[in-house]
Structure 1
Amino acid sequence: MIDGTNIAIDSTKLNSFEKPKPKSKLKDDGKSPNWGKKKDTDGNDIKWFGWKLHILADCKSELPLAIEITPASVNDSILAIPLLKKLKEFYGNTFNVKHCIMDSGYDIKENYDYIMNEFHAQPIIAYNKRGSFAPPEGLNERLHPICSMGYELVYWGKDGDYLKFRCPHVLGKVDCPHGSSWCSSSNYGYCLKINYKKNKRYFSFPIRSSDEWQEIYNLRTYIERCNSRLKEYLNTDNIRSAGIKKAKTFALLNCITLVAGTIAVNVNKSLPKVA
């Protein structure tokens, strides 16, 4: 059932059993419940008092492979590596992970480095603008390189660790007023090669904003289904005991129940039918 080729990481809110307290009276010790805030699918802010359940799930089976519980105030981005380390510790080389899929909350350099260096996989992480009003220098809104006239260079394939981009005027994509000679004296036109493994945040293979990249990123919805099943069917967001240890135990039991139930259903479907 579990494929492990594509894995996704996300967090979901859990309300604590403890009564909410003002921030001035909270213990910031990493073990006590705290206030959290995140945006829903419509971009609205959601606030709650309690915990965050961080889940690493398989995109094929929609089953959790590793989890962690933290106070709600903890940033999502720093939990990706601990979850990936758990996956490696628990399962070793059982899975051939190719893509690690996350939303923009995990868009930090450390996550790209760990995924590519330790897992030899491709991070598929949404770009976080972090309040900037313009894209990085030399790139457009799609994070594709542009020429000196501001036209998007045409992706022309991959050569080893290098992504190749060519002049759009030479390829007939635009009509540049300066022609191709503005950037290059060659008939081939200006050609840019970028080592995507050394520019992990902006570049990937498949390249950002391509149909293939978006298709892989859309697999992130499978972890949202995992979150939904845990909370709607198994009542994970109804913690009835105080403390982070009990909250984690409760979440683990629900994950075990989800996995066991999935196994039972699939075994039943695979049994031969007797007339």
Structure 2
Amino acid sequence: MVTYNEELKSDIPIYLRLVEAPRYDGVTAIVALSEARALYPDFVFDKFIGDCAHDNHPTYHLLNKWNIKPIIPLNKKNKGKSQYQGTVKINENGIPVCMAGLPMVYNGFMKDRNRIKWRCPFATGKVDSCNCKDKCSSSDYGRTIYTKPSFDPRLFTAIPRGSDEWKEEMRKRTSSERVNKRLLNDYELELSKTRGKKRWSFWIMIHSINIHLDARLKKSKFNFISSFLIFIAKSLLFFVFNF
């Protein structure tokens, strides 16, 4: 499990778990998340970003129970497995479609009522004209529709799929891939002749500590070359004045 530090533009591993290769990723991630929450009781796990291997109803239900916003792309194999049977038309991203056939505009997540607010695309200025304006709503505010994650947690996520916020958060998922790259390639763990789970766990921990140290150096803006030159200069002055 990895978190991304926006200030430092750094990928930070926060929990490591070594499992057998045949084990399904969707199972491993939930087990790891449960253990990480127990390990860091003071941490706030606000979002869970995973790939489509985690696109299943039990995972969404569990994340909602833990008040964690899921950022999970829909798995094409699960297409059509919707629990929502409402009268409002919904597109594949869980966004309500208005009478004119246009996706409605996301207007925020109402945490107190656990529901998502959607507004008319014409009233919000997303489109210049609408032939269904008079049929749909006479209000200048436009028609408003609410959806709830409880209707179908896969479709009605707190951060709607396709929204700018969802896309921005989804980009951070590559953080875990970059940490894997650092462990396996930069620290040459993949080339090592280490055998046994305990030895692998040891070296993965050591390399992860190094990744944390890199972030700390970045935070402190420490420059080894500058510090080395200052040390040389001070050493020369010491010898000159004591010669």
CA distance in 1, matches of 2:90, 2:171: 23
SS in structure 1 at match of 2:15: strand
The 1:163/1:89 distance shift into structure 2, 3 A limit, reads closer
Fraction of identical pairs, as percent: 26
For residue 210 of structure 1, what is the aligned residue in structure 2? 163
Write out aligned runs for 1:105-120 (5 A): 105-118=53-66, 120=67
CA distance in 2, matches of 1:89, 1:157: 30
Which runs of 5 or more residues in structure 1 are unaligned?
1-55
* Maintained 8 Å contact 2:93/2:155: no
Which amino acid counterpart does residue 127 of structure 1 have in structure 2? Answer: L
1:177 aligns with 2:131: yes
CA distance in 2, matches of 1:267, 1:69: 25
* Maintained 8 Å contact 2:99/2:132: no
For residue 154 of structure 1, what is the aligned residue in structure 2? 105
Which runs of 5 or more residues in structure 2 are unaligned?
235-243
Structure with the larger strand share: 1
Aligned residues: 213
| TM-score, structure 1 normalization | 0.64
CA distance in 2, matches of 1:91, 1:261: 20
Which amino acid counterpart does residue 164 of structure 1 have in structure 2? Answer: K
Bigger CA radius of gyration = 2
CA distance in 1, matches of 2:189, 2:173: 20
For residue 76 of structure 1, what is the aligned residue in structure 2? 25
1:122 aligns with 2:88: no
* Maintained 8 Å contact 2:3/2:13: yes
CA distance in 2, matches of 1:177, 1:268: 59
CA distance in 2, matches of 1:187, 1:267: 53
For residue 30 of structure 1, what is the aligned residue in structure 2? none
SS in structure 2 at match of 1:156: strand
The 1:258/1:195 distance shift into structure 2, 3 A limit, reads same
SS in structure 2 at match of 1:146: coil
Structure with the larger helix share: 2
Cα RMSD (Å) of the superposition? 3.2
For residue 234 of structure 1, what is the aligned residue in structure 2? 187
CA distance in 2, matches of 1:158, 1:256: 39
* Maintained 8 Å contact 2:183/2:204: yes
CA distance in 2, matches of 1:131, 1:210: 21
Which amino acid counterpart does residue 131 of structure 2 have in structure 1? Answer: P
Structure 1 window deviating more from structure 2 (219-228 vs 189-198): it is 189-198
CA distance in 2, matches of 1:263, 1:223: 14
For residue 12 of structure 2, what is the aligned residue in structure 1? 63
* Maintained 8 Å contact 1:99/1:121: yes
* Maintained 8 Å contact 1:239/1:250: no
